[in-house]
Amino acid sequence: MRPRVLVRLIRIQRVLVRHRLDDFVRATHLYRPLRFVYLISPWTWFQRRSSLTRAQRLRLALEELGPIFVKFGQALSTRRDLLPDDIADELARLQDNVPPFPGTIARAMIERSYGAPLESRLRAFEEAPLAAASIAQVHAAQLQDGREVIVKVLRPGMKAMIALDIEVLYTIAGMAERWWGESRRLKPLEIVREYEKTILDELDLLREAANASQLKRNFFGSPLLYVPEIHWDYCRTDVLVMERIRGVPIGDLARLRELGTDFRRLAESGVEIFFTQVFRHNFFHADMHPGNIFVLLENPAQPRYAAVDFGIVGTLDLRDQRYLAENFLAVFDRDYRRVATLHVRSGWVPADTRIDEMESAVRTICEPIFDRPLKQISFGTVLLRLFEALRRFNGQIQPQLLLLQKTLLNVEGLGRQLYPDLDIWQTASPVLRRWMRERVRPRTVMRELRRSWPDAIEILKALPPLAARALEQAQDGRLRLRHDTRALDRLRVELLEQAWRRDRILIGAALALGAMLWFAGRLEHPWIGAALAAAGLVCWLSARRPRRRAGRPDWH
């Protein structure tokens, strides 16, 4: 384990203890190697009583630990059905009330990116931020022509902080792979790799601007969602300039009621937007917590969403997209056998899974949720129960679907707040069925054929010479089939490592036995017995220490 990672782990533990959240420390099995730090820590011995509530202490600890932990709190804040009210209320403050950094620093960073004084590019710039988030903060400004915009700037030192926390996550994932029996199914290292790509994308504001432009094209002219305009001439990797919108935050329910908002239409539109993004556009906003969503109320009877913060977007492999749609429709139709069959065909559960057993498990989970309003259904609970059921069938986490699952839970959380009687099945089913019909329409098929026709022609042109060459080589006995030996190499490394560990354990045991016999016989030179015991301990520790493997982060 690298020294800076160890220091970070100790600091995380120290922050939790200092905020009197030490129950989390004791409950975290992955902190066993650092248990001695907790026992000897002065923060443990001399804890002061605090006037703050447990929810306030948790929020403050997450803020102090940095952006990755703040984002974790943001995700939790939308799941009021899974959290006590006091914790949900306090974590909601993380969505747009993260402590800001000074506006003078923001101004200096923007001027450094532009290479010119700010007044030469903008008519006005407000140093007091409009909002501060975990990765960046936003300031109001005006272009030289008077148009109102917002300027988003990364927090100083953010890239170095993210890099360290990602390394910490890799360390914890490596520990989990070694000590946790569920790691093979949950794939912690793959999950961290997937999250690493997501969080690093958020650090490039040009990428966020491109995401916003794509989403704006997808919903151009739509009455469902408005996406602000990007001003490309003012954007840099650490600065983003975008049209300022004047809407009501989705979390300000009192103001929405005061303006006569149709909450049912608003909730149904949110579900339709989600399924449209995922299945029709295959490009979805994946950070839909209340701090990133506003409502435009030119006509309160037909409210319109407006989205901001496009740092996290998701896409799906076409195969996963099709299987997901078919799974959703099978659940809507209560065709549980098809749900089980699709899970096997997609590879989400092993091929030898018994379809009838899985069908029974899915029926047990899904049947009770139908014919009920959303206020009586918790998707969080259903997903957890389904997760428990799939464990019986050695079902594995699909890292590429994590963003989609997170976004679906956020959409449910918003729907629950806006209109508890929303029938999410009735709202989503028409969107999915329309998409499935469009996929097999002759016009869609012809469009796909026209799109792929040039590639098909190139392949057909290349086939005759390739086939002729293969025939010549076969006739001359020169045809060779190549095979990939990487899997065999990995297996050989595993076997060698097991033998390496076994040998050291045996040597360590023999040395320890020798030390015991030396002391039991009261022989001269007791230092020899101590040396044997020390050597045995070194052998035993070296056998427990994981060796670095190719393609895997070094966590020791």
Tokens for 312? Answer: 């996290």
CA dihedral 59, 91, 8, 16 (to 10 degrees): 40
Four-CA torsion 105, 306, 437, 411, nearest 10 degrees: 80
Q: Tokens at residue 381, please?
A: 């609970």
**Three-state helix/strand/coil letters over 352-368:** CCCHHHHHHHHHHHHHH
Clarify whether 86 is annotated catalytic. no
- Both structure tokens of 542: 């070296």
Cα dihedral: 394, 395, 398, 404 (round 10):
-150
Q: List residues bridging with 242 in a β-sheet.
A: 150, 230
In sequence order, the 6+-apart residues with CB closer than 8 A to the CB of 461 are none
Q: Is 481 exposed, middle or buried (0-12, 13-18, 19+ CB in 10 A)?
A: exposed
Partner residues linked to 137 by β-bridges: 132, 153
Cβ(359)–Cβ(373) below 8 Å: no
Find the catalytic residue in 96, 165, 238, 287: 287
- According to DSSP, residue 236 is labeled B
71 with 202: CB under 8 angstroms?
Answer: no
Residues serving a catalytic function are: 287
